[in-house]
Each structure stands twice: as structure tokens, then as C-alpha cells.
Amino acid sequence: MDLGLEGKRAIVTGGSLGIGTAIALTLAHEGCDVAINYRRHDTEAKEVVAKIEAMGRRGLAIKADVSSHADAQKMVQKVVEELGGLDILVCNAGINWDGVIWKMSEEQWDAVINVNLKGYFNYNKAAALVFMNQKSGKIVNVSSINGMRGKFAQTNYAASKGGEISLSKSLARELGKFNVNVNVVAPGLVMTDMARNMPPEALNISMSETVLGRIADAEDCADVVAFLCSDRARHVTGEVIKVDGGQYI
């Protein structure tokens, strides 16, 4: 199915690894020029850009701390200048630093909230200013089913992911009159490096929760994101779409 994304310009935060890489490459495959941000993984970011360019699209890798309001503003401005505009924002960058609340430090709480929630605010705000002026745009924020149901030893992570959902719903209300769609993709467990490094018993528990009996690939999430970035989803906004194989239910 042609999604009609040829020539669109996109930003994917956290695009050097895992789900972010899959999203960036899927959007490029659908015809987008794609800029990714990264913080530490220089080599991986360059590899992603090389793959984007091998598809005949333009790619950018920009080192930027998503928790920095100034970095977000500068990155969006740079993408607009170098790619000639911006049509799509996918916020995906995130971290986890787990622990039960009675052992969780203030540093653990602040670090996760600053990246996962403030980071989304920073980029959603910067992109919203562009989209409002041009009266068009697509925003997809990648959250988690744990932001909807909670998770033992993840009060910081679950709070940040729940906050992303509330941010997105509020922003959908604010930007609707500017022809901007804002939606959320909420994955369950996805087979990324984090999942591969989980203790086998924990991985088996997560797999047993799914009604499909399998763990998602990053591309399963990327395909849904790409759909929401297209005009095939032009009348969808403020929605949370779970990509979890039935893990939530």
C-alpha cells in the first residue's frame, strides 16, 4: 500500500538504535528524507544515515540531548534549513532506570522524566511551531503499554510514558485546527537489545502475557508509525494504538 510519503521530511528522535532505527528506515523506504538524533551512538547513527541514503533519500544524524530545550530548538531549525522543511515528527528517544520506589533515587526519577517526558515536550513544542505556521504536520509519540497499566519497579518509566500519552491527547486538541494530527503508538515488549538482555524468565513472562505468543519486532511498531504519518490516517488524532500482541489485555 502506497502511503503517499514521497518527499516528506521527518525527524525521528532516538533513531540510532532499536525501534527508532526501524522507524527511520521504514519512513525512508516510504519516500521520506529523515533526520535522526543521537547522544552517544555515533557509529550506529552514521550507519542509519548510510542506509537512508542508499535508498536514494537524504539523511541527517544530529547529536542532540533530547532533554535540552535548546538542543531541540536547534535541531528542528537545522532540519528545516537543510531538508527544506519538516512534515513529520516521531518522538521515540527514551531510557529506563528501574527500581522499586522505596529504593529509587531522585537521580533515577529525574533522569527518566527528563528524557522521556521533557524530551517529548521539547520536540513536540519545536515541531508544533513549524506545523502551525504551515497548517499541516504529523506527530507520533512512541509510548508504552506500561504508561497505561503501570509496571512493578517502573514508577518513573510508567509515569513518563503515561505523561507522553496525556501530552499527546492535549496537543491533539490544541493543534487540530491547524490540520496537525497527533497520535501515540504504545508498544508492548519489543525484541530490541533491551529485551535480548533480559533474564530468560522475565522474557518468558512477557511472552506469556501476549495472546499471539510472540514478541514484536521493531518493524511491527515502525509500520504502524508510518501509517499514522500518512494521509491514510488523516482523520485519526488523539489516539493510542497498542502494538503489543494483546499483552495489555
Q: Which domains does the chain have, with CATH numbers?
A: 9-189+217-239 (3.40.50.720)
Predicted local confidence at residue 200, as pLDDT: 87
pLDDT given for residue 192 in this prediction: 87
Give the CA distances from residue 169 to residues 2, 32, 89, 103, 166, in Å, rounded to whole numbers and listed in that order: 27, 25, 15, 32, 5
Instruction: Tell me what the mean pLDDT of segment 213-233 comes to.
Output: 96
Q: Among positive and negative, which fits the CA dihedral 57, 76, 68, 115? A: negative
Percent of the chain with pLDDT over 90: 91
38, 120, 123, 157: the active-site residue = 157
- Specify the pLDDT at position 201: 85
Evaluate if residue 1 carries a pLDDT over 80: no
Query: Residue 71: pLDDT above 80?
Result: yes
**What's residue 117's pLDDT?**
98
Residue 220, pLDDT above cutoff 90: yes
Kindly state the average pLDDT of the residues 125-154.
97
Complete DSSP assignment for 14-80: TTTSHHHHHHHHHHHHTT-EEEEEESS-HHHHHHHHHHHHHTT--EEEEE--TT-HHHHHHHHHHHH
Cell numbers at 77, concatenated: 531549525
Q: What is the mean pLDDT of the chain?
A: 96
Residues 17-23: what's their mean pLDDT? Answer: 97
Residue 248 annotated to the active site: no
Residues 30 and 3 sit within 8 Å (Cβ to Cβ)? yes
Beta carbons within 8 Å of 190's beta carbon, 6+ residues apart: 18, 19, 215, 216, 217, 218, 220, 221
Mean pLDDT of 148-165: 97
Neighbours of 193 (CB within 10 A): 8
Question: pLDDT confidence of 195, banded at 50, 70, 90?
Answer: confident
Would you tell me how many other CB atoms lie within 10 Å of the CB of residue 150?
A: 14
For 217, the 3-state DSSP assignment is coil
Q: What's the pLDDT tens digit per position in 89-137? A: 999 999 999 999 999 999 999 999 999 999 999 999 999 999 999 999 9
Averaged pLDDT for residues 36-44:
94
What torsion, rounded to 10 degrees, do the Cα atoms 33, 129, 161, 52 define? 10
Give per-residue pLDDT as tens, 43-60.
999 999 999 999 999 999
Entry pTM: 0.97
Sort 196 into a burial class: Cβ within 10 Å, 0-12 / 13-18 / 19+.
exposed
pLDDT attached to residue 199: 83
Kindly indicate the confidence band of residue 177, based on its pLDDT and cuts at 50, 70 and 90: very high
Task: Write down the pLDDT at residue 197.
Answer: 80
